């Protein structure tokens, strides 16, 4: 278990798991733990570290997004302003797919249906973010409650509202094999288009609700599913999601479109917020995470794809870890050394609580904490290490040597990290 489960592209191919239920300068001198007077922890032997072919110095600064990357970057930034399912119901802690940046309207196809994806695409949806989670179960056939929470941005309120109407109508009139939905009303949500459906399983009937709320340039979408006996919960989940999502999306500093900016191109945002991404190991494949990595996320953004979303959100918030890098490795930057140690300790202990066991540390790096677990997908290995205000995290499957090389290279990169960064 990695504290944040940033999944490889191959896993994204299974994104219908729940959707199917819903119709610096690289030559810089090390600054070390005390902002310039520290080279390496005494117990670390840099000469003994095996870093393989990984870089051991920070990457050059990333600069601003370009027209080619802005949809990914704004989609990543949107994650911090999308409600995490556990905020709707604290028991929604088992992260599922689809949880990802939505790079275009077509991506709505894996969230809801191909028809919905076509409708959003036809109305020129720009990008979005979707987060999915369920209540934990022992077996896949056990009854559970689930939520899909998505925010989609359009060019204007008219396109957002039209998309909501057309998808809602499609659910009511076009049977994709799961039956037609029934229009419903939630009294306290007069601006929300709601439909419900029921599916019968061996464990008993389940009800689901699709809810679409146009909100300015955004379309807010919530899908909630529960055993039929808990139908009231689905309505309450929709209401709670909107109570949280509407004020949250109002805070999002979206990049203005050319039309919104008086016909001129707006200044695009920085890719690497707070200059933390330069310290993470890069992916060899630029499309490894399909728009979700090469990113800086805040506590809420990190929680979306965490193995323990409430813990991740709380620990990162309390530690002042406002921006965290996600690339091949993950880098957290706390407000101080004590915060970094808390992140390391709490996340490592959470691994052990989830059935991982302590694993040997890499040669020359006894300060690292490593854990391992045999799973149906192979042996998962994680290693974490703190260096001043920073924590590096590496992971892999069936290749402990590679994980050791990653975290060793990561430690050396963090020796160059700015410990006095604002």
Pairing of strands 127-134, 94-102: antiparallel
Find all residues with CB under 8 Å of 309, minimum gap 6, and list them.
Answer: 84, 85, 86, 93, 95, 133, 303
State the CB neighbour count (10 A cutoff) for residue 88.
Answer: 25
Domain ranges in the chain with CATH number 3.40.1000.70: 70-249
State the CB neighbour count (10 A cutoff) for residue 178.
Answer: 16
pLDDT in tens, 22-42: 443 333 333 444 333 344 455
The whole-model pTM stands at: 0.90
Architecture of the CATH domain 70-249: 3-Layer(aba) Sandwich (3.40)
Q: What is the mean pLDDT of residues 298-303?
A: 98
pLDDT in tens, 273-287: 899 999 999 998 766
State the CB neighbour count (10 A cutoff) for residue 42.
Answer: 7
- CA dist., res. 234 & res. 346, Å (int): 33
pLDDT in tens, 54-88: 999 999 999 999 999 999 999 999 999 999 999 99
The whole-number pLDDT of residue 313 equals 98
Residue 141 or 12, more confident: 141
Q: Do 312 and 2 contact (CB within 8 A), yes or no?
A: no
């Amino acid at each position: 278990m990695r504290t944040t489960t940033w999944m490889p592209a191959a896993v994204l191919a299974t994104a219908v798991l729940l959707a199917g239920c819903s119709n610096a300068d690289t030559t810089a001198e090390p600054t070390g733990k005390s902002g310039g007077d520290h080279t390496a922890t005494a117990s670390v032997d840099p000469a003994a570290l095996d870093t393989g072919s990984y870089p051991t110095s920070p990457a050059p600064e990333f600069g601003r997004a370009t027209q080619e990357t802005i949809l990914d970057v704004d989609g990543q930034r949107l994650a911090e302003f999308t409600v995490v399912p556990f905020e709707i119901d604290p028991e929604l802690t088992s992260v599922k797919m689809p949880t990802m940046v939505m790079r275009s309207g077509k991506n709505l196809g894996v969230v809801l249906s191909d028809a919905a994806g076509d409708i959003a695409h036809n109305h020129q949806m720009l990008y979005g973010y979707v987060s999915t989670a369920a209540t934990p179960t022992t077996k896949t056939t056990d009854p559970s409650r689930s939520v899909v929470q998505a925010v989609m941005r359009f060019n204007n309120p008219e396109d957002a509202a039209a998309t909501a109407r057309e998808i809602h109508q499609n659910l009511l009139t076009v049977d994709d094999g799961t039956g037609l939905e029934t229009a419903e009303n939630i009294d306290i949500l007069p601006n929300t288009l709601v439909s419900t459906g029921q599916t019968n399983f061996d464990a008993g009937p389940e009800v689901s609700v699709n809810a679409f709320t146009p909100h300015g340039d955004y379309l807010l979408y919530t899908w909630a599913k529960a055993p039929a006996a808990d139908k009231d919960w689905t309505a309450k989940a929709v209401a709670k999601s909107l109570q949280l999502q509407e004020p949250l999306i109002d805070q999002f500093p979206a990049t203005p479109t050319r039309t919104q900016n008086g016909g001129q191109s707006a200044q695009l945002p920085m890719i690497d917020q707070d200059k933390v991404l330069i310290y993470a190991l890069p992916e060899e494949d630029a499309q490894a995470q399909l728009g979700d990595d090469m990113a800086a996320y805040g506590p809420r953004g990190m929680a979306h794809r965490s193995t323990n979303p409430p813990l991740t959100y709380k620990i990162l918030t309390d530690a002042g870890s406002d921006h965290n890098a996600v690339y091949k490795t993950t880098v957290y930057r706390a407000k101080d050394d004590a915060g970094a140690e808390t992140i390391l300790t709490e996340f490592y202990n959470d691994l052990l609580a989830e059935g991982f066991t302590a694993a040997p540390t890499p040669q020359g790096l006894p300060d690292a904490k490593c854990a391992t677990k045999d799973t149906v997908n192979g042996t998962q290995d994680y290693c974490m290490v703190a260096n001043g205000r920073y924590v590096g995290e590496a992971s892999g499957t069936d290749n402990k040597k590679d994980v050791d090389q990653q975290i060793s290279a990561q430690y050396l990169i963090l020796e160059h990290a700015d410990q006095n960064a604002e």
